[in-house]
Chain A
Amino acid sequence: MIKLENVGIKFNLGIERNYSFKQLFVDLLKGKRKKKQPEFWALKNIDLDIKKGEVVGLIGTNGAGKSTLLKVVAGVMKPTEGKVSVSGGISPMIELGAGFDMDLTARENIFLNASVLGYSEDFVKSKFNEIVEFSELHDFIDVPVRNFSSGMVARLAFSIATIVEPEILIVDEILGVGDVAFQAKSEAKMMDMIKGGTTVLYVSHNIESIKKICDRVVWLDHGKIIKIGDPVTICDEYRNKIMK
């Protein structure tokens, strides 16, 4: 389903984002036009094979490379080295509502965001009521999203992202959205998808939820895989290590 072979991603940390003429002249005068940038590998030598229907959790400290790994699988980033092969439709829930336009209403955003996720027009039309119903935002459907609370935005986004039954679901720390009732609802929805045979890649700092839903856990540190295996064993080991 998902296969990563010797994958590496390199960032240039010292990157000057807004490289300008001024900078160019300064560098020319100082005679270091080709300054060597410090190299930083966000991921290095990653080998991972995920089978259909498997639920894989990713754990690790901030900056360990969890989100980068998800982005590589989702196709957002091309690896600097190595090979990634993914078969099946992906629904990325990396950051909910990334495609929202705050000036548009919830109704308009449902169509916009759904198109960003690659759904077809007929599909969105047929599922429109279901999306609205799940988000419980009937009364606000023609209100610009700019006037929504952040919880409402997240609800809407979650409802759109989960309306398909994707073969692969990528979830980055999003189950904490909305109020308690909606959290329970969204967790139930995800469990349903898992039972339905969806392959899941799941990032969370909530160790308990990882233990509960995952079949396997990958422990990442500084862009490298430390351990792969049984959730309970690895989570406990991870917790002992970082609590020291």
Chain B
Amino acid sequence: MERSEKMFFKNIIANFKKYKFLLKQLVSRDFKVKYKRSVLGVAWSLLNPLLTMAVLAIVFSQMFKFSVPGVNYLVYLLTGLVFFNYFSEATNLAMGSVTSNATLISKVYIPKYIFPLSKTLFVGINFLLTLIPLYIIILVTGDPAEGTRCTITWLHLLLPFAFLCLFLFTTGLGMLLSTIAVFFRDIFYIFGILISLWMYLTPIMYDLSIIPESLHVIFKLNPLYWFIDFARQIILYNQFPTGNCWLWCALSAVVVFIIGLVVFKKKQDKFIYYV
């Protein structure tokens, strides 16, 4: 058994080299198919987040008059939102990635982890594109007189760490969900509800300071809180992220990724009988 574990990781690396091209093709297929029949095409991947952000910005800062003291609320809101949107879209697509490729799985041998991974990568590229409108908003909104205009410092170079943790966490959860989905289709509905609950339990639109101190511990069990907090400390407060924050980001990302990988590996040979 131990030998097969070793073989598994060796195989993953060899497989990865061999199937890099497939991964690339699957990601680019998703792109092509997504925009194929629209007039504006790939421009939508920039326009779409920009317009969605505009809607939310108007709703929350103008209609509901939400704010977080001392910072540019728009940037506060959108930072959280960009992270959460990645998480929500990527987990949803990854969850269905194995079941929707049933014909392929039963006809050709392909390492199956490619499917959830290609989805989290595909949404990842979209995520990187949404950083462009986000940075435009960071640069042009806020009032310099009130000190709410954000400045970009070298600390921004640390942000990829938060992206990487978010990616690992999402991929791990995606593998786990795609495995569950093979045996238990109800997960699609259950997770749909869970994710909207998750969204409200993550401080995206509000700040943790409005929640009673005694409940903070519950909010801090949420890895997404830490990823977003990491980014906000840098973007909004020009602050080197706290040690606590580094630790929780890395720990939750790695642990969830490994759980996802192990569960996926244990069950993958049974997929073919159920998809």
Residues of A bordering B, CB below 8 Å: 11-12, 15, 17-21, 71, 74-78, 92, 94-95, 98-99, 101, 103-104, 108, 111-112, 115-121
- Segment 82-121 of B: residues with Cβ below 8 Å from A: 103-110
User: Residue of A at shortest CB range from B37?
Assistant: A103
Instruction: Give 7 nearest A-B pairs by CB, closest first.
Output: A98-B107, A75-B109, A115-B22, A115-B25, A78-B269, A121-B21, A115-B21
B110 touches A103 (CB 8 A): no
Question: A92-B109, A104-B32 in contact; A119/B272 too (CB < 8 A)?
Answer: no
Contact among A17, A21, A117, A120 with B108 in the assembled complex (CB-CB below 8 Å): A117
A116 touches B185 (CB 8 A): no
- Segment 142-196 of B: residues with Cβ below 8 Å from A: 183-186
A17 to B183, CA, bound (A): 8
Q: B22 contacts which chain A residues (CB < 8 A)?
A: 115-116, 118
Across chains A and B, the number of contacting residue pairs, with CB separation under 8 Å, is 73
Question: A20-B185, A92-B108 in contact; A104/B33 too (CB < 8 A)?
Answer: yes
Q: A101 contacts which chain B residues (CB < 8 A)?
A: 29, 33
Q: CB of B24 within 8 A of chain A?
A: yes
Q: CB of B10 within 8 A of chain A?
A: no
Interface size class of B (residues with CB under 8 A): 20 to 34
9 A–B contact pairs at CB < 8 A? A19-B184, A19-B185, A76-B107, A94-B107, A103-B32, A103-B33, A104-B33, A104-B36, A120-B21
A70 to B209, CA, bound (A): 62
Question: A11-B273, A21-B186, A116-B22 in contact; A104/B29 too (CB < 8 A)?
Answer: yes
Contact among B18, B25, B36, B103 with A98 in the assembled complex (CB-CB below 8 Å): B103
Residues of B bordering A, CB below 8 Å: 18-19, 21-22, 24-26, 29, 32-33, 36-37, 103-110, 183-186, 269, 272-274
Q: B106 contacts which chain A residues (CB < 8 A)?
A: 71, 76
Q: A103 contacts which chain B residues (CB < 8 A)?
A: 32-33, 36-37
How far apart are B94's CB and chain A's nearest CB, in angstroms?
18
A78 to B267, CA, bound (A): 12
A95 touches B107 (CB 8 A): yes
User: Residue of B at shortest CB range from A22?
Assistant: B186
B274 touches A15 (CB 8 A): yes
A19-B185, A92-B107, A104-B29 known; 20 other A-B pairs, CB under 8 Å?
A: A12-B273, A15-B273, A15-B274, A20-B185, A21-B186, A76-B106, A78-B269, A94-B108, A98-B108, A99-B108, A103-B36, A104-B32, A104-B33, A115-B21, A115-B25, A116-B22, A116-B104, A118-B18, A119-B21, A120-B21
User: Residue of B at shortest CB range from A144?
Assistant: B36
Question: A118-B19, A120-B21 in contact; A74/B33 too (CB < 8 A)?
Answer: no
User: Residue of A at shortest CB range from B22?
Assistant: A115
Q: B21 contacts which chain A residues (CB < 8 A)?
A: 115, 119-121
Q: A12 contacts which chain B residues (CB < 8 A)?
A: 273
Question: A115-B24, A118-B19 in contact; A76/B108 too (CB < 8 A)?
Answer: yes
How far apart are A142's CB and chain B's nearest CB, in angstroms?
13
A76 to B103, CA, bound (A): 11
B108 touches A116 (CB 8 A): yes
Q: B184 contacts which chain A residues (CB < 8 A)?
A: 19
Query: Which residue, A74, A78, A115, has most C-beta atoms of chain B within 10 A?
Result: A115
B109 touches A17 (CB 8 A): no
A20 to B25, CA, bound (A): 35
User: Residue of B at shortest CB range from A10?
Assistant: B273
Q: A117 contacts which chain B residues (CB < 8 A)?
A: 108
Q: B105 contacts which chain A residues (CB < 8 A)?
A: 76
A103 to B32, CA, bound (A): 9
Q: B26 contacts which chain A residues (CB < 8 A)?
A: 112, 115
